[in-house]
Structure 1
Amino acid sequence: MPWKPLRRRTRLALPLLAFALAATACGSGGAASGGDTITLGLPVQATTLAPVYLAEDMDLWKQHGLTVKAVTFKGDAELAKAVLSGDVDVAVGSLTGPLTAEEAGQDVKVIYGGFDMTAFSWYAVPEIHAVAQGKGKNWGVTTIGSSTDLLTRFAAAKAGLDPNRDIKVVQGGASAARLAAMKAGQLQANIFTEPQTVYAQKAGYNKILDLRDLVDSYPMHVAWSKPGFVDGNSDRAKKFVDTLAQAMKLTKDQPGDAAKSIAKALKISVDDAKASMAEWIGQLYPDGRMPSAKAMDDFWQMGLQGKVFAKRLPDSQWLDSRFLPKTS
């Protein structure tokens, strides 16, 4: 079936009925009814999720007394549906997922951060050398309402464009699929992380912006769930957080092993995995901290300016800080 872009802007759908999981190479299955079994949802395959892949390869979940079944979706919108329906116990995905759900009246909580990475870059076809030159063009994002959507609209606005009129934001799925769509002429600009940034450069596309040019830190991924994941079994939730923290530390201490786990999960070369890790490993924090107050101000400014969010929500509405570092 040919790739068909979706151009109509929509809000995150919040289903009342159970959502059928989109099974991928990471596995499939429903959420646990109790005990120490966890269904973990991931938005897409990404090198920045290295600690999750390493935890699986090194049997860290089992060492902490957990049985974890990971399921990968086609973006944050599908992942959010699965969390809200109860088919996924906990997600590790973008912060836009739980915030959009909260804004729509759903009760969810972020329980862990630590993935505070500015790992995104934008690439464009050869005739485009700057963001402003992308006016009237098709810009690829994973899903409408995702972090890639939020960031792309913010980047356009910073360049003097109206993100709702001057560019066409196209929902195109994971980076590999969007790079293929770019080569097919269906997209003229795209937001990528490594290794697609390397592949885009090799294909002759121009890097027109780095996220680090806009902000110094960004909540790339957070762990989030419905409150029952923690309140219904706090010991299980603590084991999950402790395992993820250990996997983050091992990713930093044993990057060679982490690169092998990335390569295995994403079916890329170990060298490409290492190149990707070099871009963000210094912004991986095993204590699970959220980005700085300034970085979070920047994040909300992006979402409000791009009309991904209607208003800024107080931290107490979406953040469960019991597993996070204490701040003065």
Structure 2
Amino acid sequence: MRSLLIAALVIVLLSAHAPSALAAQAKPLIKVMSGYGSTDGGAAILWFAKETKLFEKHGLDVVLVGMGTGSVSLRALIAKDLEIASLSGSGLVQAALQGADTVLISALINGFVFKVFGAPEISSPAQLKGKKLGVSRYGATSDFAVRLALKKWGLNPDRDVNILQIGTSQDAVRAMQTKMLDAGVMSGTSSLIARKAGFRELGDLADLGLHYPTSAVGTTKSYLQKRSMISSAIKKPR
């Protein structure tokens, strides 16, 4: 449900380009590059809207680009390769603090949505010491979250655990199955796949109880200025 809400918000924001379906029929379609990170299920409604021509109904020619991870989406957004993206809110904020013109439109989840799974023989987080643990990318939300969790579990993430960037959480499951990893950070359907494959859940990072804009929709200030109707829709929801 969470992922569907994120995707639905993207659709609403994109649809703000056009005031009505009738007006859209009289104008050329507006091309929009929209990126999404995970393929855990959040992209399903986006593809549904595209394949049923819902975007076209609102005057949009939306190109959906699967980026694999939020950090890759962020770099593409900053480089203007994407115009709107679903990614981590903290990445947008950090980029803005470093001089980028990124802006967070909305954050729907306040907290982490990851779980750490390990090999069956690992029965507690403390046993991750000396083990290889996979995250999507260094600096990504999964990396940031698990480092906080490791500290809470009494481990030094820089010294006690070998944290490796492995790609998507599906990649982490496959790496664990081939013994390339001892543990991995999972989310969405990957958690179900990991559990079904016999891996042990070691911790739910939601239990950290931290305020964190995990599920966010972002764009750039320059894009909002170019497409003023989106800005108006954000300030005055319809």
**TM-score scaled by length of structure 2:** 0.78
TM-aligned CA deviation for residue 105 of structure 1:
2.3
Which residue type is aligned with residue 197 of structure 1? Answer: S
Q: 1:227 aligns with which of 192, 204, 221?
A: 221
SS in 1 for 2:213: coil
Aligned with residue 96 of structure 1, among 90, 93, 105:
90
Aligned partners of 2:80, 2:100: CA distance in 1, in Å? 12
1:63 paired residue number: 57
- When you count strand as a share of all residues, which structure comes out higher? 2
Deviation at 1:36, TM superposition (A): 2.8
Give the corresponding residue for 2:118. 124
Within the alignment, does 1:73 sit opposite 2:72 as a pair? no
Extract structure 1 runs of 4+ deviating beyond 6 A.
none
Query: Does the aligned pair in 2 maintain the 1:96–1:146 contact within 8 Å?
Result: no
Determine what percentage of the aligned residue pairs are the same residue: 27
- What is the one-letter code of the residue matched to 1:182? M
Q: CA separation in 1, counterparts of 2:139 and 2:166?
A: 12
1:139 maps to a residue whose letter is: L
1:128-277 maps to which residues of 2 (within 5 A)?
128-215=122-209, 218-236=212-230
2-side partners of 1:63 and 1:234: how far apart? Answer: 20
Gap runs ≥5 in structure 1: 1-33, 242-321
The structure 2 residue matched to 1:41, chosen from 12, 35, 45, is 35
Deviation (angstroms), 1:114: 2.2
| Correspondence for 2:106 | 112
Over aligned residues, Cα RMSD in angstroms? 2.6
Moved more, 49-58 or 186-195: 49-58
Count the aligned residue pairs.
Answer: 211
Q: Determine the C-alpha separation between the residues in 2 that align with 1:222 and 1:211.
A: 18
CA positional deviation for 1:146: 0.6
* Residues 117, 194 of structure 2: 8 Å contact kept: yes
Q: Distance in 2 between matches of 1:228 and 1:143?
A: 27
Structure 2: gaps spanning 5 or more residues = 1-27
Where 1:100 maps in the other structure, the secondary structure is helix
Q: Is the 8 A contact 2:224 2:231 kept in 1?
A: yes
- Aligned AA for 2:207? D
Shift of 1:152: 0.8
**Matches of 1:66 and 1:116, distance apart in 2:** 30
CA distance in 2, matches of 1:83, 1:77: 10
Aligned partner of 2:81 among 84, 87, 92: 87
SS of residue paired to 1:52: helix
Query: Which letter does structure 1 place at the counterpart of 2:85?
Result: A
1:118 Cα deviation from its structure 2 partner? 4.6
Output one character per residue of 1:135-170: Cα deviation in whole Å (capped at 9) or x when no partner.
Answer: 121111111111101111011011111122211211
- For 1:82, the aligned partner's letter is A
* Distance change >3 Å, CA 213–CA 117, structure 1 → 2: closer
Partner SS state of residue 222, structure 1: strand
Rounded to whole Å, the distance in 2 between the matches of 1:146 and 1:231 is: 28
Query: Aligned letter for 1:37?
Result: K
Deviation at 1:51, TM superposition (A): 4.2
Is the 8 Å Cα contact of residues 112 and 324 (structure 1) preserved in structure 2? no
